[in-house]
Amino acid sequence: MQSKTTVTDVPELVVGFDLDMTLIDSRPGIQAVWDLLVAETGVPIDTDLVVSRLGPPLRWEMAHWFPEEQIDAMVERYREHYPQHAIADSLPLPGVTESLAAVRALRGRSVVVSAKYTPSVKLHLDHLGLDVDEPIGDLHGAEKGIALREHQAMIYVGDHTADIDGARAAGAVAVSVATGPFTADELRAYGADVVLNDLTEFPAWLDAYVLEQRLEALMARLASYPSLVVAFSGGADSAFLLAAAARAIGPANVVAATAVSPSLPVAELEPAARFADGLGVRHVTPHTHEMDREGYQANAGDRCYFCKAELVETLQPIADEFGIAAIATGTNADDAIAGFRPGIRAAFERGAITPLRDARLTKAQIREASRSWGLETSDKPAAACLSSRIAYGIRITPNLLARVDRAEQAVRAHLAPYGVQNVRVRDLGESASIEIDAELLGTVDSGALVELVRAEGFTAAAVDPRGFRSGSMNERLKEPEKYR
C-alpha cells in the first residue's frame, strides 16, 4: 500500500496583480493630486503627461519637476493629499471583479504588488471592496520579484514593462494587459508570456492555463504507479480518475472497483459497468459490509468514517490479488476543504491515495476536463450513498435505504420531463424532506411529489423550499435546534 504521506503535486495557486492601470484606473485621482501640487507650488507640471506614464515609483516622477532637495517634501505633501483626493475618483477597470473571483474559484489567493505607497494601495482596495488577500506596495520592476517569491506567486499580471521584469525575477508567468502606457505589441516584444487586451480576457485564460497545469500534474502522478485500483462509484469524480488512470498507465494496468451494498443506489451499478467496459478496464464488484459495523449503523456524525474504512479494507485484498500497490479514491480539491468529511480521514489512515485532490483539481475543473475528453459523466449529478439521506441519529437498516431509493426513483421518474438533475429524499424518521433542483421549485406539482414519497412508506413529506443542497444533513448536525 502507498505510504500515508500526502503528496501534493501542484503548489497552491497564487496570482499577483499590479494596481495602477491593471486593476484600477487611478489617473483621475492621481491627476487631481498633481493639480493640487501645481496650485500650491506654482511649478508648471504637465499633469496629462504624468498620468500617461504611470508605473514607476513616485520619486522618479517627482524628479522630472522638482530639484533633488525638494523631492522628499513633495512626496510627503503628495501622500498627505492622496487619501482625500485620489481614492474616490479611481475606478476599477473592466474585468477586475471577475478576475479576482476566477482566482478564488480555483481555490487560489490574490496578492497586489505595486510601486505605490502601501497605505494607498490598501485604501484603494478597501474603497472598491476588491477581494485581495495581501496588499504590498513600494516595490518596482525586478524588486517586485521579492514579494512575488515570498508569496510563491506563479503568475503576475501587470500593464508595464517593469511588471514583466518583476514576473521574470520571481520565475512567474508574465501576463500583460494593454490597459496602461504600452501597447500589446510593445509588451509582447518586451517579453511578456501572455498579452491580453484587458482583464475581461483573464478569467478564461486563467481557467484554461490552470486546468492544463493541473491535468499535467495528475497524469504525471498517475504515471508514477505501475498499476492502480480505483474506487469507482460511477460518479463524475471517480469516473474521471478512472479514465485518467487508463490514459496514464494503460487500461490493462487499472482495476475499477465498484462496491456493492444496500447503500449503493440500484440504478448506479449498470452504468458503472458500462463505463468501465468502454475504457477497456477490468471492473470488479466486491460486496462491502459496512452494515455490520456498529459505527455505521448508529449513524452518528462520523458514519462516513466507517463506510470508507470498510471500502478501503475491502479493496485491499483485491489490490493484493492483482499485485497492485495503490488504491485511489476520487476525492477532489473541493472535498478537501468542505469541512466535516470523516470518510476522507478514514481512507487516508488506510493509505489510499487521492490523485485529484493532490493535483488540486476542483469539481468544476473535473467536469470541464471530462467534457473535453467526451466522458458521459461530465454533467452527471452528484450521487452520494443512500445513507447520506438518513438523518443522523436514526439507526440505518437495509429497509430504510431501500425505501429512500424507491422514493427517489419515483420522484426522478415523475420529474424526468422537466430535465431534473438533482433529487434527494431525506429520511427524517417517519417524515421525509424532498429536495429537487431549485429552478424547478414553483414549476412542478409539489403535491404530486409528496404523494409519491408517502406511497413508499413515509407518513408525511414536504418539498424543501430551498431546493437541493449537497450535504444538507450536515446542517441538521451543526444546528440541531433549528430542525426540531
> CA-based angle 226:208:157, to the nearest 5?
120
Q: Does residue 191 lie within any of the structural domains? A: yes
Q: Say if residue 230 is in the same domain as residue 193.
A: no
Q: Which pLDDT belongs to residue 339?
A: 53
Map grid coordinates 478512472 to a residue: 242
192 in a structural domain: yes
User: Does 352 lie in the same domain as 418?
Assistant: no
Q: What is the pTM of this model?
A: 0.84
Confidence of residue 7 (pLDDT cuts 50, 70, 90): very low
DSSP for 111-170, written as a single string: EEE-SS-HHHHHHHHHHHT---SEEE-S--GGGHHHHHHHTT-SEEEESSHHHHHHHHHH
User: Tell me, what's the pLDDT at 86?
Assistant: 94
- pLDDT band at residue 473 under the 50/70/90 scheme: low
- Cβ-proximal residues to 103 (8 Å cutoff; 6+ apart), any chain: 13, 15, 109, 110, 206
CATH number at residue 241: 3.40.50.620
In a domain? residue 219: no
- Structure confidence at residue 265 as a pLDDT band (50, 70, 90): confident
Co-location of 79 and 100 in the same domain: no
- Co-location of 143 and 94 in the same domain: yes
The per-residue pLDDT for 179 is: 97
| pLDDT bracket for residue 484 (50, 70, 90) | very low
Residues 107 and 131 in one domain: yes
Residues 79 and 123 in one domain: no
What percent of the chain shows pLDDT beyond 70?
Answer: 95
Do residues 35 and 77 touch, judged by C-beta distance below 8 A? no
User: Domain containing 172 — which CATH number?
Assistant: 3.40.50.1000
Helix (H) or strand (E) holding 195: strand 194-196
| pLDDT greater than 90 at residue 477 | no
| pLDDT confidence tier of residue 480, bands split at 50, 70 and 90 | very low
**How much is the average pLDDT of 300-308?**
89
Q: What is the domain count for the chain?
A: 4
The answer on 356 and 232 residing in a single domain is yes
Name the band, by pLDDT with cuts 50, 70 and 90, for residue 49.
very high
Q: Do the domain assignments include residue 8?
A: no
Domain membership flag for residue 172 = yes
- Angle at which helices 303-321 and 342-349 pack, to 10 degrees? 30
- 445: pLDDT strictly greater than 60: yes
Q: What is the pLDDT of residue 283?
A: 97
CA separation for the pair 17, 122 (Å, rounded): 13
Residue 288 carries which DSSP code?
Answer: P
Q: pLDDT per residue over 339-373, tens digit each? A: 557 888 999 999 999 999 999 999 999 999 999 99
Does pLDDT of 338 surpass 70?
A: no
13 contacts 360 by C-beta, under 8 angstroms: yes
For residue 435, give the 3-state DSSP assignment: strand
Determine the pLDDT at residue 471: 66
Confidence check: pLDDT of 76 > 80: yes
Residue-wise pLDDT tens digits, 145-180: 999 999 999 999 999 999 999 999 999 999 999 999
Residues 19 and 31 in one domain: no
- CA distance from start to end of the chain: 45
Contact in structure between 2 and 351 (CB atoms under 8 Å): yes
Based on the domain organization, do 112 and 171 belong to the same domain? yes
pLDDT at 84 over 70: yes
Domain that holds residue 477: 386-483
Average confidence (pLDDT) over 445-467: 96
478, pLDDT greater than 70: no
- The DSSP code sequence of 3-42 is -SS----SPPPEEEE--BTTTEE-HHHHHHHHHHHHHHH-
**Is 54 part of any domain?**
yes
pLDDT of residue 469: 85
In a domain, 46, yes or no: yes
Q: Are residues 339 and 462 in the same domain?
A: no
